[in-house]
Structure 1
Amino acid sequence: MPLRTPICDILQCHYPILQAGMGGVARAELVAAVSTAGAYGFLGMVREAPDFIAAQIDAVRAETDRPFGVNLIPAATEPSLFRAELDVCLARRVHSICFFWSVDAEAVARAKAGGCIVLYQVGSVKDAIAAEAAGADIIIAQGFEAGGHVRGAVSSLVLLPQVAAAVGCPVVASGGFATGRSLVAALSLGGQGIHCGTAFLATTESFAHDCHKNALLAAGSEDTVYTDAFSINWPPHSPVRVIRNAATDQLGGQLVGHDPDDLWWEQVATDSGRPIYRYSTDSPLRTTCGNVDELALFGGQCCGMVTTIVPAARRINDIIREAEATLHQFENNLYPALPAEQLVGSL
């Protein structure tokens, strides 16, 4: 199996494909489907109540005996709630924890002491080094192309090989990866797998609202917007990548430089009785009602390569089949080198 890399042994999965722990979207149905299909799923449990996290962990285990993890974000969670979130994960003996945003060494230490494998998603070489020093087992290097919250400022093509060279632990590529060809590219750049959000948002099992999924399918890569306007509920200056919609159009040319304290909290939707505000970090879910198309429609630049809504197992199978076909082409020299004179002529 040429696509089996060391992270498959660490995470006990068949394929080096990780499903991003998208808040709200990555719930038990999606995670169970991904892990059952041989990839590795993460519950997106950012700022969720401990009882809800426990119920979601139990729901995944009721559907599959495959390992999976939980995604938490210390910097975006009130400290006492974060401690309670991590406590319930450790009490439920989850297989792994994935942290994101600024490196929290104390959180890594607690998770490791509780027996968890720790993954840390970062956006720079500096943070990758800090995460490894804190004890992270796997680094997820997120490029600027990524959907949702974007930590760094350089593309995956540039960031991934630098991070792989800077740390000794395995590195997984994130941001712009949704196909088998992109998996092969990640491996060639020093990664041991890919971490996909957009590709799994557009699946039948994701908890995203249909309007979000359909907007993703209709969008081209140039239809995403990088902005920090969707900042209600998050620390200031936390940029995101979303699909362009009425809310982003209202920003005019001012896409960055927003502070959540200065935003007008206008309720445009509800979710299970909870008010949802324009420019909050809440994306529309199956349970969201109201002007759902004015909320944050998170999506990466790879949306131009995601053109169907399919079961998660089909998405994984398509990625693996294309990656194997691509490797086969290389192995059988089906990409012959150009004659030297043509290479010189093209410079």
Structure 2
Amino acid sequence: MALVTPTLHTPLCDLLGCRWPILLAGMGGVARHRLAGAVAHAGGFGVLGMVREPPHRLRAEVEALRAAGIEHFAVNLIPAATAPALLEQQISTCLDLSVPWMVLFWDVDQRLIRRLKDAGVGVIHQIGASGDAQAAVDAGADVLIAQGVEAGGHVRGRMTTFSLLTELIPWSPVPVVASGGIAEGRGLAAALTLGAQGVSLGSTFLATHEANAHDHHKRRLIQARGEHTVYTTTFDRNWHEPAPVRVLANRVTRGDYDDLKSQGRDQIIGEQDGQPVYLFSTDSPLQGASGDLDDMALYAGQSCGAINAIEPAAHRIQQLVTGAEKALRRR
């Protein structure tokens, strides 16, 4: 495909109301108002990770973000992984709060997309394959996030990020954002060169002071390289299907608990947010968590080898921008 002339200010920036085409991934529990606000104040686009969160917390997080002066932001939900009654409460809360943007993931719920669009909410849909991309666009999604298999957390598709971009860019009528395997400026520049209008980043923002991830998770991530991540379906306890995730290797991925897994036995390994954390659950350790933290799902993308320190989110964005500008000048 023909390469386009890249620039750090893309039409996506105008659409979302941000300075830089850098989106915070909606990491459940990790991307709360402190991190979303820091990303937005630094010129990126803040996303609140509210997957399966109760409506009162969703409301509090949105209100806290607005109290910090942020009006351009999104709330991330995963409809397929949320109980229908809770999902309806979440959607109603978002509509009541006039949330400007929603980020959706996993199965494409075309009816929900149309409902949000009819209510004046912008829809960003993360997808992992062309079929889901087409379904999301047909339903009215305004932006696509193309997630590659290199990404941390739940992984929808099986293609690499840049291979997926080369499929989507030629036909997509809406902006496409790259996600997976990108943690520094050269990756941002490469995505823009292929025709993406931005990037959505998780691991690089997890390792920041403002992220709500537990310090143990942050330390493990900055010590790791891409080869230390594992693509597995083992962490499926509170998910609607045995979906693949990318995590850092631990005793769970090494098979130390396979007997318990085969027996289907429940085992509480910790606590956070006033709730128990079970072995094999999709819960990653958050600030204030206690218990066997290293046995929890330590999400990390294959870009983790480029993340070597826990830094302020604003510093991380400045590094991305400076690195991308340098790479684009060389080109």
CA apart distance, 1:261: 9.6
1:262, 1:49 → 2: CA distance?
A: 31
Give a deviation string over 1:168-216, Cα, whole Å, max 9, x none: 1110000111111001110112211100000000000000000000000
Task: Tell me how far apart the structure 2 counterparts of residues 121 and 314 of structure 1 sit (CA, whole Å).
Answer: 26
User: Is the CA contact 1:35–1:66 (under 8 Å) kept in the aligned structure 2?
Assistant: no
Residue pair 1:43, 1:70 contacting (<8 A) in 2 also: yes
- 2:231 match: 226
Unpaired segments ≥5 residues, structure 2: 1-5
TM-score, structure 1 normalization: 0.91
SS where residue 83 of structure 1 aligns?
Answer: helix
Q: What per-residue deviation string (whole Å, max 9, x for no partner) do you get for residues 70-94 of structure 1?
A: 0000000011111110110111111
Distance 2:25 2:13 in 1: 16
Distance in 2, matches of 1:15 and 1:272, equals 33
Greater mean deviation of Cα atoms: 264-273 or 203-212: 264-273
Q: Does the CA-based 8 Å contact 1:161-1:191 persist in structure 2? A: no
Q: Answer yes or no: is 1:328 the counterpart of 2:326.
A: no
- Cα deviation, 1:276-308, whole Å, max 9, x if unaligned, reads 011100000002111111100000000011111
Mark the runs of 5 or more structure 1 residues left unpaired by the alignment.
255-259, 331-347
Question: What is the CA deviation profile of residues 304-335 of structure 1, one whole-angstrom value per residue up to 9, with x for unaligned ones?
Answer: 111111111110010000111111122xxxxx
- Letter aligned with residue 122 of structure 1: I
Paired residue for 2:149?
144
Amino acid across the alignment from 1:294: D
Match of 1:160 among 140, 146, 165: 165
- SS of residue matched to 2:299: coil
Structure 1 222/90 Cα, relative in aligned 2: closer, same or farther at 3 Å? same
User: 2:68 is matched with which residue: 63, 67, 86?
Assistant: 63
Structure (1 or 2) with the larger CA radius of gyration: 1
2:271 alignment partner, SS class: strand
Greater RCO, CA 8 A, separation 6+? 2
For the Cα contact (< 8 Å) 2:127–2:156, is it kept in 1? yes
Q: Do the aligned residues in 2 keep the contact of 1:24 with 1:208 (CA within 8 Å)?
A: yes
Runs of 4 or more, structure 1, over 4 Å off, are 251-254
Aligned to 1:98: 103
Matches within 5 A, 1:123-202: 123-202=128-207
Matches of 1:62 and 1:19, distance apart in 2: 19
Q: What do you get for the CA RMSD once the two structures are aligned?
A: 1.7
How far apart, CA to CA, are the structure 1 residues paired with 2:191 and 2:149? 15
Percent identical across equivalent pairs?
Answer: 47
Alignment of 1:230-245 (within 5 A): 230-245=235-250
